[in-house]
Amino acid sequence: MLRGVGPALARKLERLGLFRVDDLLFLLPLRYEDRTQLVKLGALEPGCRCLVTGEVLLAEVVYRGRRNLLVRIGDGSGQLTLRFFHFSRQQQAQFQIGVRLTCFGEARKGSVGIEMIHPEYRLLREDQDSAIDATLTPIYPATEGIQQGRLRSLTDQALLMMRDSPPAELLPPDVRETLDLPPLAEAILYLHRPPADADVTRMLEGKHPCQLRLAFEELLAHYLSLLELRSQARLQPAQSIRGGEKQIARFIAQLPFELTKAQQRVIAELLDDMAQPHPMMRLIQGDVGSGKTVVAAIACLNAIASGVQAAIMAPTELLAEQHWRSFAEWFAPMGIEPAWLSGSQRTIARRDALTSIADGSAKLVIGTHALFQEGVTFHNLALVVIDEQHRFGVHQRMALREKGVSDHGYPHQIVMTATPIPRTLAMAAYADLDTSIIDELPPGRRPVATIALPETRRDEVIDRVRSACLAGKQAYWVCPLIGESQVLDFEAAETSYDMLTRALPEIRVGLVHGRMRAVEKERGMQAFKEGQIQLLVATTVVEVGVDVPNASLMIIENAERMGLAQLHQLRGRVGRGKTQSHCVLMYKPPLGQLAKTRLAVLRDTTDGFVVAQRDLELRGPGELLGTRQTGLPDYRIADLVRDADLMPQVQVAAEVIRRSPDRATAIVRRWLGDTDRYGKV
């Protein structure tokens, strides 16, 4: 137990994830301050954070709009004003003329020369030298109620305890030697208390060998836990699904298009997995328009032909309904009618759907998160397909999986995403899943030409929409918001709809947004699909799943405010026919550097994997994978973008360490604790 830690402080520390002394050792500083040398007052420059010392020349309280305590100090080379807005009488009394003190803070230009506002300071005795630190000063992640000084004091105690009882060195010596990594205790001490001559720039970049030592072990812990999940899944029973070859061949023959070689390869992988006596856990990646849905349809048909049920879960009613319509059309010649289940269903329709699901007459069930809610009972669910998997919370996916657990075992599972995941990220985050990639677009598809235009050229864009629609084509006009906003200066869908209706009286304009009732939304989307609406004004509700081959023009308002993945998804709504399609990214100038980079990426490539890699670099893995939804943990030290090049070595090390199960378990426990893995299911 550490000195000075009572129940109240312990609760605050828990908010930082600090439960044990060892946790403090792995709470690394965010940055460092240099208090190892004094800067002469005469050499101070605005913007410099530094350590100074001086003698009090003057202390007074002034009233300039608010009460200020001003303390003037000097060291013979110059003078500095210390400014305090919050102070007590006792504090004011400390600053007697002639008292010496050491201060640390940021120098800035003030009304009477260089000043520091609320610096850290320490009064010096007459015989005391200026307090200069021997190491760089760490700045830790903060939480309310815990000052930096308290955290440094606690880590000082933890580091002293580490000298007598260092954490176990769990990486095998040959692994450390191959990567030239320092011992664990040495790395921890260095990172908490770096020497004065430490390469701070390299440390801030996260590239110091001591940081890599800890990042490597953390990546390894997560990777080992995923491998263990995969191993456990292979031990679980599942129904072996086979025998649907004739129905599949018949289905493929009736399709109005030919399957690509990539689709054929992925189908073969799925059918082989489903024939195994343990549950399939497969991630299907494919760019927008690559044909993931028809691949999932063939897997479902294989299950239905074997006499078991399949379920497809989509994140929105719009996408789920589109799947339902597509599957109903595809499967009608085979006498298969998919059941529909959603939260907005009428009572009678829902009751009929639940009955058919429970008695097994519904062989295929399509819906939203309503599929896993209480009261839904499957007769024999053996295949679960989850579309746009990153939009579902892990507990939602687990709940649907649990619906299929029976005497026969666990259901097979396919998760699909149209947000391609860079290889190194997939390696780190989805090692428990087998991965299939549909890396080929259907023949005849032409890349969407993309341009970025300032909103000042809106009239030109409207003329372009008019020309496209009068030529028999259709267009989307996507806006970030539904109505006017007092806070965000976005073009709202309703405002744009009114403006475009007036500007284009000869064009049939429609409106779809998330606040509409499901039936209104569906009516609008269906009218657009059937060509009754030529221009559809919408929010990002059309981001996924809407398939209108005749739509060849996509206009996106305020494109500078959206992420790359979302922009790429929206662009993927056009280019689904054989006509050359275009995407116009309208932005409000001036553009920041990040927005410029994003729009440039979209202009330069239509490859979803390239877009995903750049999105990962610009925004980090959390947004790409949907951290808040999936439960993917924040890494304490590792960074999946910065440390991506470590993943191949992590894979190699994992194979070595798994031969020593106790060592592997200890590494996982050190970094993930005793809780269950954040888990894919």
Look at residue 362 in the predicted model and tell me its pLDDT: 96
β 535-538/474-478 pair status: parallel
Reduce the DSSP state of residue 186 to 3 states and report it. helix
CA distance to 311, 394, 396, per residue, from 379 (Å): 12, 24, 20
Residues forming beta bridges with residue 139, ordered by sequence position: 31
Which residues of the chain fall short of a pLDDT of 70? Answer: 389-399, 481-491, 543-546, 619-634, 674-681
Cα 327–chain centre separation: 31
What is residue 77's predicted lDDT score, i.e. its pLDDT?
Answer: 95
* Residue 381 to residue 363: CA distance in whole angstroms: 9
Give the pLDDT of residue 634: 63
Q: What gap in Å lies between CA 238 and CA 233, rounded to an integer?
A: 10
80: nearest Cα among 47, 106, 116, 50: 116
Total residues found in the chain within this entry:
681
* Distances, alpha carbon 482 to alpha carbons 409, 489, 563, in Å: 46, 12, 19
Paired with 49 in beta bridges are 106
pLDDT at site 57: 96
Contact 81, 112 (CB under 8 A): yes
Q: Using an 8 Å Cβ cutoff, are 61 and 68 in contact?
A: yes
Residue 261: phi and psi, rounded to 5, are: -60, -35
Cβ neighbours of residue 619 under 8 Å, at least 6 residues apart?
A: 563, 564
Whole-number Å distance between alpha carbons of 229 and 248: 32
pLDDT of residue 92: 92
- Residue 339 to residue 328: CA distance in whole angstroms: 9
**Cα-trace Rg, the chain:** 31
Q: pLDDT value at position 462?
A: 97
β 137-139/31-33 pair status: antiparallel
Q: Which domains does the chain have, with CATH numbers?
A: 7-32+139-198 (no CATH), 37-132 (2.40.50.140), 245-438 (3.40.50.300), 449-605 (3.40.50.300)
Contact criterion met (CB below 8 Å) for 400 and 370: no
532 closest CA partner among 514, 512, 507: 507
Report yes or no: 623 and 391 within 8 Å, Cβ to Cβ: no
507: closest CA among 463, 538, 550, 548?
A: 463
CA pair distance 487, 498, nearest whole angstrom: 21
Per-residue confidence (pLDDT) for residue 505, from 0 to 100: 96
Q: What is the pLDDT of residue 623?
A: 46
Contact between 97 and 59 under an 8 Å Cβ cutoff? The reply is yes
Residue 407 confidence (pLDDT): 86
Q: Is 334 helix (H, G, I), strand (E, B) or coil?
A: helix
Rounded CA-CA distance 544/319 in Å is 7
For the chain, the farthest-separated pair of C-alpha atoms sits apart, in whole angstroms, at 97
Q: What is the pTM of this model?
A: 0.71
3-state helix, strand, coil in the chain (%, to 5): 45, 20, 40
Assess contact for 425 and 398: CB atoms under 8 A. no
Express each pLDDT in 353-395 by its tens digit: 999 999 999 999 999 888 888 889 999 999 999 987 655 555 5
Q: Taking Cα atoms as reference points, which of 564, 647, 578 lies closest to residue 607?
A: 564
Which residues touch 419 (CB under 8 Å, ≥6 apart)?
390, 565, 569, 608, 612, 624
In angstroms, what CA-CA distances link 354 with 99, 322, 375, 512? 82, 20, 8, 30
Phi then psi for residue 39, to 5 deg, are -110, 130
